Amino acid sequence: MGRQSTPEILLACAQAVEAAEIFDGAFVVDHLLIPPEQAEGSGGRYLEALVTLAFLAGATSRIRLGVSVLIAPYRPPLLTAKQVATIQELSGNRLVLGVGVGWMDAEFRALGVPRGRRGALTDEMLETLHRAFSSDVIEVNGQKLIFAPRPPRPPIWVGGRSEKAVDRAARWGDAYHPIAIRDEDLRERAKRLHDLAAGLGRPTPSIALYAPFDGNVQAAIDRLGELREMDVEDVVIAFGRYTDAEDFKDKVGCFKEEVFSAIA
């Protein structure tokens, strides 16, 4: 987003993540269009998330490429499944698909999507993704279709803090990916997740969380230790805003040399 979202800066940042060798992946966020009064910090400039990941796939070879999170109700399920399969195929199975219900009223209104149906639309998306990646021939709206290429389904991280989000993660997710959740609430949600998945006969989804890094090395070390104790399997390090590629590389270098070296 913002003036940093140029091809040159995006490529330099993704390649810096890959070159650091300590990270498994690089993530983008998802907004499509926002109103002028909410454009501070971005100027309203947003690149579409899946297209951006496709762009980065051609410039990297090892790291996973993720979105945290794709707003499912904004997009047609079958078309999205085809886009996801295409990125997965062309990237060599490196996609991580975070999925969420969204929140911004203005985007829902602009897209003509009823905000009150966002949960149901997200469930429809997740159900379509699972069906599409499980069979060469699928039926949609009474029409049988060949779904090819059909690479391995990317891991699905289900976002959201509500009980409904936990239910959704238990049914469809490979990981539960809440943002800005309190530790005590996470422990409660994790137990519910385990119980629901067991009832569905599914493996319990893992936990994937954000951890901010603002340059405070000790705070980052402490936080990662806490997440490790809570059996959090994946952590997306949030570097916050950066002015340019060099600023981003400095943040990556600081994290690698001072935080990662202390916890590895």
Q: What's the confidence (pLDDT) of residue 47? A: 97
Confidence of residue 180 (pLDDT cuts 50, 70, 90): confident
- Evaluate whether 246 touches 16 at the Cβ level (below 8 Å): no
The answer on pLDDT for 93 being more than 90 is: yes
Question: Residue 162 CB: number of other CB atoms within 10 A?
Answer: 12
**pTM metric for this prediction:** 0.96
At 18, list the tokens: 């890959």
Distance CA 161, CA 8 (A): 35
Ordered domains of the chain (ranges, CATH): 2-263 (3.20.20.30)
Mean pLDDT across 152-175 = 97
